[in-house]
Amino acid sequence: MFNRLRMFAGNALRIRPQDRVPQEVARNFQHNVLFNTLDLMAFFFADSFVSINTIMPVFAATLTDNPIIIGLMPAIANAGWFLPQLFLAGYVSRQKRVLPLALRLSVLERLPYLALMIFALMVSRMSKSSAVTLLLAIMIFRGLGSGLVALPWQELMAKVIPITHRSRFFGFSRVLGQTMGIIGSAIAVMVLSRLAYPYNYAVGFSIAVVAQWISFWFFSRNRESVKEDPPTAITSEMGAAELPRVKAKMIDFELFGQILRTDKNLQRYLIARSLIFVGGMGSAFLAVYGLKRFSLDDGSAAIFTGLIYGSGIIGNALFGAIGDRIGPKKLVMIAQLIWIAAMLIVLFAPVAGLYYLVFILFGLNTAAMVMGDSILVMELGEEKYRTTYLGLTRSLTGAFLLLAPFFAGWLVEGFGYPVMFGVSMALTTLAILLFARVKDRPRHREVVEEALVE
């Protein structure tokens, strides 16, 4: 069984002459696949103890009943990941090698987890209002820390993983990563259920800290080639429009404005992606709503996390296998259809046993969405403007991540959870219709299909 798995991975991730991959990238490809996969495995294990979709909202619910505060747990972390990227685009694009920058920022990314562990040990001595304020501050620090490293990390992945293999790499690495997430979730169930509050959370957060630094070491093993100016190949709807030369500016507003005015495909993406964020506002309340509706204990949040990772394994394996053939746009649309199905179960599940299916679908949704969107934004524009496109797409849409929980909280307080989930489903339906007009880069079907057959 192991030999068959190794042969499959070797064939699916093998670089061949017709892939037209630069020699240095091809030479280091298997090394980089190995260490980036190990990085993700350790990272997912850590995340299972500090999940922004399950553990952190439930932890926040021990301090407040305010739905806006609870909804801000994933929103702050996600928005913090998206918003800073535009402001780093100019600086990152000038780096001949982005790994040194990514490593420095990765240190900053990991500090909030240490703060979270200390906070959990001290929370019982604080007033509720002080605890909520400090928790929000730590989550902002966590979000911004990840946001600062996000653009260098994406640029590094685009450099070391060629376009012909990105879906397969992300699928393969995330399958193994989410397997570690399941193991972590099983440990988290025992920690949260058997230890007294708040020490159960403190122990879980401390495990995450250790795993995060193991992840850092694996990430530091990447082998990156020195950046060269790529040949111009128009791949977006900018056509032959003249763009300003890339200047030595931290923030090049002239270039940003020209791209936004001329690239119609980018405009369509930004509108549809922003609507997807608002349509996904219900994700922050899935665990809290389930615990309240069916009278479950906090340990169930770790079970929810395990279900997300478990279905994510299936999703990443499936979408990684077909992603290079169907393209990232279709993966995004599949993700939204799955989300609509999850919302239907949230609204109509009569018993707790059926409600667990919501988190299975959420794991599939996340697998398709993360893979599809990550790859799509890497290829919306020309190669030499990739960091600029990454920064624009992340920062301009990320603002809607912060608006979503306020909108969701207002709906919950005024009309209740079912109305909020219903609005989430309706907005997602509209987002699918808009995203259908977004174009991705055509796939070389014969190359990918041959690799899959092997």
Tell me which of 316 and 241 has the higher pLDDT: 316
Structure tokens at 57: 């909202």
Rounded to two decimals, the pTM is 0.76
Task: Work out the end-to-end distance of the chain between its first and last CA atoms, rounded to an integer number of angstroms.
Answer: 17
Query: Looking at 7-21, 189-203, 359-373, 416-430, which range is the least confident one?
Result: 7-21
Q: Is residue 22 over pLDDT 80? A: no
- Binned at pLDDT 50, 70 and 90, residue 123 comes out as very high
CA distance linking residue 308 with residue 306, whole number of Å: 5
- Binned at pLDDT 50, 70 and 90, residue 449 comes out as very low
Q: Where are the domains of the chain?
A: 23-223+252-453
Q: What is the mean pLDDT of residues 316-326?
A: 86
User: What is the share, in percent, of the chain residues with pLDDT greater than 90?
Assistant: 52
Instruction: Say which residues have a Cβ less than 8 Å from residue 256's Cβ, sequence separation at least 6.
Output: 86, 388, 392
- Binned at pLDDT 50, 70 and 90, residue 70 comes out as confident
Would you say 175 and 317 are in contact if contact means Cβ atoms under 8 Å apart? yes
Return the exposure string of 331-355: e unless at least 16 CB atoms fall within 10 Å of the residue's CB, then b.
bbbbbbebbbbbbebbeebeeeeeb
Query: Looking at 23-27, 264-268, 288-292, 426-430, which range is the least confident one?
Result: 23-27
Q: Is residue 4 over pLDDT 60? A: no
Predicted pLDDT of residue 444: 56
Predicted pLDDT of residue 209: 97
Predicted pLDDT of residue 8: 52
Would you say 372 and 322 are in contact if contact means Cβ atoms under 8 Å apart? no
Q: Is residue 9 over pLDDT 60? A: no
pLDDT tens figures, 377-406 = 888 878 778 888 888 888 888 888 888 888
35-49, 62-76, 80-94, 315-329, range with greatest mean pLDDT? 35-49
Predicted pLDDT of residue 229: 55
Q: What is the DSSP letter of 161?
A: S
- Binned at pLDDT 50, 70 and 90, residue 241 comes out as very low
pLDDT tens figures, 167-176 = 888 888 988 9
Predicted pLDDT of residue 250: 60
CA distance linking residue 417 with residue 408, whole number of Å: 9
Predicted pLDDT of residue 446: 45
Tell me which of 320 and 20 has the higher pLDDT: 320
Full DSSP string of 210-242: HHHHHHHHHHTT---PPP-PPPP---STTTT--
CATH architecture label of 23-223+252-453? Up-down Bundle (1.20)
Helix boundaries (H) for 384-438: 386-415, 417-435
CA distance linking residue 69 with residue 131, whole number of Å: 12
Predicted pLDDT of residue 451: 40
Structure tokens at 316: 């990443």
CA distance linking residue 79 with residue 396, whole number of Å: 10
3-state SS, residue 248: coil
CA distance linking residue 113 with residue 206, whole number of Å: 8
Helix boundaries (H) for 295-351: 299-326, 328-348
* Burial class (CB within 10 angstroms; exposed 0-12, middle 13-18, buried 19+) of 257: exposed
Which of 158, 224, 205 lies closest to 48, judged by CA? 205
Predicted pLDDT of residue 13: 67
Predicted pLDDT of residue 453: 44
Would you say 343 and 219 are in contact if contact means Cβ atoms under 8 Å apart? no
Would you say 429 and 340 are in contact if contact means Cβ atoms under 8 Å apart? yes
User: What is the share, in percent, of the chain residues with pLDDT greater than 70?
Assistant: 88
CA distance to 142, 177, 197, 209, 408, per residue, from 203 (Å): 18, 21, 10, 10, 31
Q: What is the DSSP letter of 247?
A: P
Chain mean pLDDT for the chain: 86
Q: Is residue 243 over pLDDT 90? A: no
Tell me which of 210 and 447 has the higher pLDDT: 210
CA distance linking residue 340 with residue 262, whole number of Å: 33
Q: Is residue 240 over pLDDT 70? A: no
